[in-house]
Amino acid sequence: MLSKRENLLETIRGGHPDRYVNSYEALGLVIDPIMTKIGGFAYTMTPGDVEVNGWGVTITFPVGAPGPFPVHDEKHVLVKDITKWKEVVKAPPVVLTDEEWTDVKKQVASIDRNEQFVTAFMAPGMFEKLHYLMSIEDALIAFYDEPEAMHELIDFLTEWELSYAKELMKHMKPDAVFHHDDWGSQKSSFISPEMFEEFIVPAYKKIYGYFKEQGCLIVHHSDSYAANLVDSMIDMGIDIWQGVMSTNNIPELIEKYGEKLTFMGGLDNGLIDREDWTPEKVAAFVEKTCQENGTRYYIPCTTMGGPESTYPGVYEAVCSEIDRMSKVMF
At residue 22, the pLDDT reads 98
What are the pLDDT digits (tens) for 166-218?
999 999 999 999 999 999 999 999 999 999 999 999 999 999 999 999 999 99
Range list of H helices, 217-278: 230-236, 250-257, 269-272
Tens digit of pLDDT for each residue in 260-318? 999 999 999 999 999 999 999 999 999 999 999 999 999 999 999 999 999 999 999 99
Percent of the chain with pLDDT strictly greater than 90: 95
pLDDT value of position 43: 80
Residue 112 has pLDDT above 90, yes or no: yes
Mean pLDDT, the chain, whole residue set: 97
Three-class DSSP labels, 39-99: CCCCCCCCCCCEEECCCCCEEECCCCCCCCEECCCCCCCCCCCHHHHHHCCCCCCCCCCCH
User: 279-293 and 250-257 are packed helices; what angle lies between their axes, rounded to 10 degrees?
Assistant: 30
CATH architecture observed for domain 4-329: Alpha-Beta Barrel (3.20)
Q: Which of 24, 70, 72, 68 is nearest to 43 (CA)?
A: 68
pLDDT tier at 64, thresholds 50, 70, 90: confident
Q: Report d(CA 160, CA 128) in Å as an integer.
A: 15
Residue 33 is predicted with a pLDDT of 97
C-alpha–C-alpha distance, residues 269 and 317, integer Å? 13
SS3 200: coil
The string of DSSP letters for 7-44 reads HHHHHHTTS--SS---TTTTEEEE--HHHHHH--STTT
| Averaged pLDDT for residues 105-124 | 98
